[in-house]
Structures are given as structure tokens and as C-alpha cells.
Amino acid sequence: MDGYDGDLIENLGAAKMTIDNNHGVGYISLYELMPGLTAWIYNINFNKDLVIDMRFMEDRPYYFGYNVSGYQLQKFPEEVDYKKIQQGQNFVIISKPNSSSEFVIPKNISYKCCYIIINPKLLNESKVASKLKLVSDLAESFKLKGDSDPYRYFGNIDARIGTYADIVLKNKRTDITGRLITEGAILRMLGSQIEAHAHDSSTHNFKPALTKSKLSRITNIGEYILSNISEKISIDEISLHLRISPKKLQSGIRFLYGYSANEYLTRLRLEHSKELMHSTEMNISEICFAVGYQSKSYFSKIFLDTFGNTPSAYRKSYEDANLLYDISYRSLAEDSLTVKNVDEIINIAREFNPKFKITGSIIFHRNIFFQIIEGPKKEVLTLFKNICNDRRHKDIQVMWRGFKIKREFDEWAMATISDEGELEVVIQGNTKNLELSNVLGKLDRSAMESESLWRKVRNIIKLDANESAA
């Protein structure tokens, strides 16, 4: 990835490169779960084909992968034609030591993929029983013999593995909890891939009745249902949208997800209702209609049958945990906004937010606002709704939202960024000056509006807030 001019953020055991330029838009992340077990996450759209010439080491590592979205091409040096790895497909590649494999990620597609790379030599060196067991299990599953020929396994379309890969891709938390979520999902994904390979091997390369192309198409069903979740959706409508016959659609859903089509639709509606309970202040009746049910009593019954709690009881148990809610966003101020207006906004925040147990930080620079708001969920969501309705700014982009265990701030903080890239921030009563030019790069207008910059600022402010509180 040399020459892609991305913004690189490195943490202990993890790194993330964000690209937003003529090469493409998105990010590539790396996690080292332990020496010998690493995960690479691609969530990116390239403007031209990316060709990767992967050189294999003498240690003969295992490369597990899963395409959540998009596809890629692969071939070994002696091959003329590429093999296509489709969306939703599980794959494993092991090459000869000191050989190579070529991958091509096509341009102009939403490419989302998780790779898990295992180096058996490094795992063996640890002498830890669990790691040694993993090495022996892999050797037994794949039965490799010394410097044998390259090994390639392209499995069936498998939505179960996709469930874990999707968690890794969607998890934007950068704290310890977020890392644990990522690590747990990666390990479960690996276990599912090994299990899928063992199943296919023991059933003589078991093949479903549908082609992999059709199964790959069916993996888009969730996105279609969620975009129409409040409507009455029929199998015939989904069939028409995916260009697959109703009979094959039913068969594919059963194969991929283990549910009938109606059971899968119900599950999606119910899971979405839980998300709305977590992220909104909609009442149960409103949520019932929002996920496509016309009867509140029927909605409560199937929710109870599925999760063991009524919707009201589920929401109460979650809220009784007294977790804090956090929203971070970036917005563009209207051109007519004056310094006096900004002072008024800050003064109102400092006066009223403590009354609602809301703390956080706000930055204003070059007509751009950035805020971190934390506190009780109801109060934070009410405040954010008012913020969204405020005509003094526009183009609101949420950087992160979700629950957390403790506050980053004891009070309301104000920060500004100078033209030289210096962050002057008042946190916990102390003024901090942080030189950010090496981190933020050139602060032109496009950089100031970019999501990646404000994600960096968020991390820096949170880090400094924690240090000040220590």
C-alpha cells in the first residue's frame, strides 16, 4: 500500500490506515491478537484495480478470508486464469514456502473483506498450550506435507461466518471494549471457517443445490429487507428484486441462515427493533410500526418467544444498567454564524448541560463544529435531536454513537485548533496545547471537513481527558 497517502493511526497491537484521495475511499485495519495470529480488515472502494503480489514465507502461514461485500480474483504464478472469490464466500490459501500468490481487488466496488493470517512457527514458539493446540488442529485439518504444492480451498457461500466478519467491520469502538469485541469476533470467525472446511472435506466437497453466484446474490437480502423494514414484504417481492425464483430463494435462505424465509424476515425485524430501543427514544408502539408490525400485542408475543422478555421488559433491563451514552459528531456552521453566536452556544452548554448530567467537549474552528456528548441516554438523545434541528449548522456527520461504562470528562470542555495545527484544549480545568501538525497533516478546507481528521481529534481528546483524570 505504499504511495496511497493514507492517514495512519497506530495503537498497541493495532493499526488503521484511512484513505480519502484519488486512490480511493475507505480504510484498512490490522489487529495482532497474539504473535502468530493477525487479522487484516478491508473496507474500501479503490479508484483503480489493486494488484497484490503476496510473497509467502518459509514458515508457510495459513491465510483465511471471507468476502463480506464485493469480490476479488486470485491465481498462483503457474496459472493463466484468475479464480473468482465471490461475496459471502469462505476461502483458505496456503502456498509453497518462498512462492507467491496474486490477488486483484477490482476498482469501483464496495470491497469489504476480513483476512486472518496464522504463522504456525510463531505460535509454536510461545509454548502456550492453547496456541500449540491450534497449530496441531490446523495441521490435522489440512494435512500438509512439507514443501507440498499450493493449497487452495474456496468454500461455499456461508452467512454464518459472515455474521462474525460483519461485526469486525462495523465495530468502530477504539476503547478496550471495542478491541475485545473485535478479537472475539475474529476468533469465532476463524473457528467457523475451520469447521466449514472440515464439513466440506468430510462430505466429499458438499455442494448446495444453488450456484455460488446465486447464493452470493442472496447474501444481499438483509440489506434489502432493512431498507424496507417498515413495509409488508413478500417472498415474491424479494425474489423479483434478487432475480431468483421464490423456490430457490427459500432454499438459499435455509442453506445460508438455517431459517425459513419467513423466520429470517422475522428475526431481522426483531433484531432491528432492539437496535431502535438502544439508539432512539421511540416508544414500543412506534418501534412496533417502524419494523413492520401492525399489532403491538403480536409484536410483544414474538419478541417474548424469541428473546425471553417482552419489549418493555427488555428495554427496562437495559436502561436499569445505568450505562452512559456517547455521541460524537462533526458539522459545518452556516456562513452567517458569528463569534458572538459561538460564545452564546458555549455558554448555554456550560450552563444547562450539567443540569442534565451531560458532559463532553466542543471544538469550533474555521466554521466547523466537533462535539463529544456523554451522559444518560435519554438526555443525550434529546440534546442531539435539538442540535440536529438547529439551523446554525448543517451537514451533520456522526463519528460514533453507543454505550460506555465511564465518562471521559468531568465537566464541559472547549477546544480550538489554530492555523498551525496546534490543539488548545481545556480539559478537567487544565489547558493543554498539543502539536498536531504531524498527525493531522495540512489543514486545508477538505482536510478539515474529512471524517478521518475528526476521528483522530476525538481519540486525542479522549486520551488527554483520561490522562488528566488520572
Number of domains in the chain: 3
Query: Would you say residue 355 lies in a domain?
Result: yes
pTM check: above 0.75: no
Compute the Cα dihedral for 430, 436, 442, 447 and give only its sign.
Answer: negative
Q: Looking at residue 274, which CATH number applies to its domain?
A: 1.10.10.60
Q: Looking at residue 165, which CATH number applies to its domain?
A: 2.60.120.280
**Cα 358 from chain centroid (whole Å):** 27
Compute the Cα dihedral for 444, 446, 448, 451 and give only its sign.
Answer: negative
User: Distance between CA atoms of 402 and 377, rounded to whole angstroms?
Assistant: 9
8 Å CB contact between 416 and 187: no
Residues 354, 460 within the same domain: yes
Residues 282, 343 within the same domain: no
Phi and psi at 443, nearest 5°, equal -90, 60
Residues 102, 25 within the same domain: yes
Residues 72, 118 within the same domain: yes
Residues 165, 234 within the same domain: no
Phi and psi at 193, nearest 5°, equal -70, -40
Domain end marker among 183, 202, 221? 202
**Neighbour tally for 65: CB within 10 Å:** 25
8 Å CB contact between 401 and 414: no
Residues 412, 340 within the same domain: yes
Residue with cell 472469490: 85
Domain end marker among 202, 225, 260? 202
User: Distance between CA atoms of 446 and 322, rounded to whole angstroms?
Assistant: 39
Residues 362, 443 within the same domain: yes
Query: Would you say residue 317 lies in a domain?
Result: no
User: Distance between CA atoms of 359 and 206, rounded to whole angstroms?
Assistant: 56
Q: Which domain holds residue 407?
A: 324-469
User: Distance between CA atoms of 136 and 143, rounded to whole angstroms?
Assistant: 10
Residues 186, 112 within the same domain: yes
Instruction: Give me the tens of pLDDT residue by residue for the chain, a chain 470 residues long.
Output: 555 666 777 666 677 888 888 888 888 888 888 888 889 999 999 999 888 888 777 778 889 999 988 999 998 888 888 889 988 888 998 877 777 888 999 999 999 999 999 988 888 887 777 778 888 888 877 776 655 667 888 887 887 788 888 888 877 665 555 676 788 788 888 888 888 887 777 664 445 567 777 877 887 788 888 888 998 888 899 889 888 888 888 888 877 776 788 888 898 899 889 888 877 878 999 999 999 999 999 999 999 888 788 999 888 876 666 778 888 888 888 888 887 888 888 888 888 888 888 888 887 777 788 888 888 888 898 999 999 999 899 888 887 777 777 777 776 655 444 444 454 545 444 444 544 444 444 444 454 455 555 555 665 565 555 555 44
Domain end marker among 168, 202, 236? 202
8 Å CB contact between 100 and 122: no
Query: Would you say residue 141 lies in a domain?
Result: yes
Residues 155, 52 within the same domain: yes
Cell of 53: 503480489
Query: Would you say residue 1 lies in a domain?
Result: no
Residues 291, 170 within the same domain: no
Residues 333, 303 within the same domain: no
Query: Would you say residue 298 lies in a domain?
Result: yes
